[in-house]
Amino acid sequence: MQKGSFAVQDPERKKVKGRQGKTTFCLLLAPLCSLALSFSLPSSVPAQGQYYLINGKPASKETVDAYRLSQESVPLLQANRNEEAVNKLTEAARLAPDVAEVHNNLGLGLAKLGRTDEAQAELEQAVSLKPDLAVALMSLGGLYQSQGKVQKSLDTYTAFVNRFPTHPDAPKVKAIVAGMRKEIAEGTLAVESVGAPADNYLKELRGQLLSWPASRMPIKVYVAPGTGVNGFKPSFDRVLRNSFNEWSEASQGLVTFQFVDKPADANLTCTWLGDAGSLRNRAEAGETNISADSKGICQGSIKLLTVPLMPALPVTENFLKQTCLHEIGHALGFGGHTNNPADVMFFTVRFIDKEPQLGLRDSRSIQMLYQGQAGTTR
């Protein structure tokens, strides 16, 4: 989520007016979710006519089989083998439709496959069956968040914090709620979408817009090596560079980039972080800072997280690309966020593990911004 505002001084330390100065975007708030991991299975088969015992309570063979299938699904979901996991969990839900943990894990698996309506039904069922299952309530709030259902997400996350104040993830949930409420108060995040979206989102960003002047093209980009950074994979460098190229293509050449070998030669630097605590908000996957003078943006930096915020959301190439496209959008001058899940500047990442692409609204918005059609942006 965005933090700060267009602040006070240009790089020469001279007082400037308006939206010139230094701006920090602390983003991207990831929807929080969690797998139900604690399955206490019986160690032996009972004698004929007896029941299995799970946590000291009698259970049928079907219920035990359902728990076992759900337990087997956990490493599959963590490894992003989502189809296999959903197949196991669907069978588990058939065998034991009243086990909330099964519905929670099935909901997450379906969400990662992009089947969000089914996922919502499963997570709502999990919460209904077992209101004290903290992971289900948190996962439901995360799904609402990823769907752009801002008010439902806020209500669900708030209920989680109130009901489970000592939960290990409570600080992250509080950070998400605070960030969303801040953006709502600043007018950079709408609680609900109204009507059909326009072909661009410049007005939705409420004037939180800047741009690089033509005289500073191509923007010189330095990508720091990721060697030794926890979670970094060599393919991440390619994903980031391709994301820059996609923005350039979407702008129809109005924005261009040149990769340089030394940070001293760059006016936009990109670094990798292997510790979520290095960012301003522990619930975020990236952070962008830009500085501007009277001509426009003159410098910037992007920080990208290489480790998962939650075990159920591993940093795949697709997940990273969402963050890269979003952060580069901020570095190009898009402040604030939209609440249309189809936009790259949507206020959160999605559960679905599918390669993201810049859409028509993204392309139209970057073209208008750099053609000078954004009203007060130039």
Specify the pLDDT at position 194. 52
Total structural domains in the chain? 2
Distance, in Å, from the CA atom of 13 to the CA atom of 246, rounded to the nearest integer, reads 34
- Of the residues 113, 134, 168, the one at which a domain ends: 168
Residue 51: strand, helix, or coil: coil
Residue with tokens 């001084």: 9
Distance, in Å, from the CA atom of 332 to the CA atom of 122, rounded to the nearest integer, reads 39
**Inside any domain, residue 218:** yes
257 and 208 in a common domain: yes
291 and 153 in a common domain: no
**Inside any domain, residue 6:** no
211-228 pLDDT tens trace: 999 999 999 999 999 999
Specify the pLDDT at position 13. 30
Closest CA to 4 of 278, 204, 345, 290: 290
DSSP assigned state of 216: G
201 and 343 in a common domain: yes
Contact 323, 285 (CB under 8 A): yes
Q: The tokens of 102 are what?
A: 């099964």
The residue among 339 and 6 whose pLDDT is bigger is 339
366 and 231 in a common domain: yes
Using the predicted structure, report yes or no on whether residue 346 has a pLDDT greater than 70. Answer: yes
Residue 171, preceding peptide bond in cis (omega within 30° of 0): no
91 and 26 in a common domain: no
199 and 164 in a common domain: no
**Inside any domain, residue 27:** yes
347 and 218 in a common domain: yes
Specify the pLDDT at position 295. 93
333 and 257 in a common domain: yes
Residue range(s) defining the domain that contains residue 217 = 21-31+192-370
**Inside any domain, residue 81:** yes
The pTM for the full model equals 0.79
**Which CA distances in Å does 153 have to 16, 285, 347?**
39, 19, 12
DSSP lists the bridge partners of residue 303 as 271, 287
154-199 pLDDT tens trace: 999 999 999 999 998 898 888 888 888 887 887 767 676 555 568 9
310 and 210 in a common domain: yes
**Inside any domain, residue 295:** yes
366 and 262 in a common domain: yes
196: domain CATH number is 3.40.390.10
**Inside any domain, residue 58:** yes
137: domain CATH number is 1.25.40.10
